[in-house]
């Protein structure tokens, strides 16, 4: 079990989350899309997190070879008018369920970072920050992409509350 906290101010950003061995595959993000918000079902289920070993999000660079006309991968971010690009963003970002962290994060605006039609595409850099101002999270929640909230692995740290809690329990008076 792991809690993620802001590396700058120490505020806990998540509850106790269970690690997934990998980011779950999303074959068809349109399946299970919310009728009202048009958001896909969250890639990661509530109470869990997964480390994304691949570069994710901004910045992007041109793909070496133009992609064939295959459907983009289910988790691909929506980008328009930019030709064929691949992410040159951070590796090892922490993917969490939006509902597990949104209440503790503040949206901020910086350039196009909320661009999207039904929600942010997540392709324009961080759009959520800690109350201390650290811009540590990017939420992708548009109608044509995944619903994923990525925590910046450099701006958050992980800790295991289990050990500390057990110590407290052991020290407590028993009936
Ligand atoms: Zn903070
Ligand atoms: Zn939309």
Confidence tier at 174 by pLDDT (50, 70, 90):
very low
- Cα(52) to centroid of ligand 2, in Å? 24
pLDDT in tens, 22-40: 999 987 878 889 999 999 9
Using 50, 70 and 90 to split pLDDT, how confident is the model at 167?
A: low
Answer whether 0.85 is exceeded by the pTM. yes
Ligand nearest to the CA of 7: 1
List CB contacts of 28: < 8 A, sequence separation 6 or more.
74
As a whole-number percent, the residues of the chain with pLDDT over 90 amount to 71
Eight-class DSSP state of 59: -
Strand partners of residue 168: none
Q: Is residue 175 part of a domain?
A: no
Ligand 1 centroid–CA 15 distance in Å is 15
Distances 53 to 22, 35, 50, 165 between C-alpha atoms, Å:
9, 31, 9, 30
**Residue appearing with tokens 């919310």:** 34
Whether the predicted pLDDT of 164 surpasses 70: no
Q: Provide the residues around ligand 2 (an ion) whose CB is within 5 A.
A: 117-118, 143
* Residue 6 covered by a domain: no
- Evaluate whether 91 touches 97 at the Cβ level (below 8 Å): no
Q: Is residue 159 part of a domain?
A: no
- Nearest CA to 14 among 103, 93, 90? 103
Range(s) of the domain holding residue 43: 23-154
Other Cβ atoms within 10 Å of 175 Cβ, number = 2
| Å from CA of 36 to ligand 2 middle | 11
- pLDDT of 173 > 60? The answer is no
**Ligand nearest 152 Cα, by number?**
1
54 located within any domain: yes
The total of structural domains in the chain comes to 1
In a domain, 133, yes or no: yes
3 within some domain:
no
Q: Which ligand is nearest to the CA of 80?
A: 2
pLDDT at 51 exceeding the cut of 90 = yes
Bridge partners, 60 (sequence order): 87
Of 53-57, 59-63, 64-68, 94-98, least confident by mean pLDDT is 64-68
Q: Is residue 1 situated within a structural domain?
A: no
Instruction: Report pLDDT digits (tens) over 106-142.
Output: 999 999 999 999 999 999 999 999 999 999 999 999 9
- Per the DSSP assignment, residues forming a β-bridge with 106 are 129
In a domain, 61, yes or no: yes
At residue 85 the predicted structure's pLDDT band, cuts being 50, 70 and 90, is confident
Percentage with pLDDT > 70 across the chain: 86
């Amino acid at each position: 079990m792991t809690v993620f906290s802001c590396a700058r101010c120490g505020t806990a950003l998540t509850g106790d989350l269970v690690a997934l061995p990998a980011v779950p595959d999303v074959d068809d993000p349109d399946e299970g899309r919310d009728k009202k918000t048009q958001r896909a079902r969250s890639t990661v289920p509530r109470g869990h997190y997964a480390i994304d070993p691949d570069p994710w999000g901004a910045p992007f660079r041109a793909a070496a070879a133009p992609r064939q006309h295959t459907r983009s991968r289910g988790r691909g971010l929506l980008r328009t008018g930019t030709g064929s690009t691949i992410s040159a963003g951070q590796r090892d970002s922490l993917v969490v369920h939006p509902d597990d962290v949104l209440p503790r994060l503040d949206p901020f605006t910086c350039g196009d970072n909320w661009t999207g039609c039904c929600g942010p595409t997540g392709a324009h850099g961080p759009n959520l920050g800690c109350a201390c101002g650290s811009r540590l999270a990017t939420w992708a929640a548009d109608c044509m992409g995944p619903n994923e909230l990525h925590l910046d692995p450099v701006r958050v740290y992980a800790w295991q509350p289990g050990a500390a809690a057990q110590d407290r329990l052991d020290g407590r008076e028993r009936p």
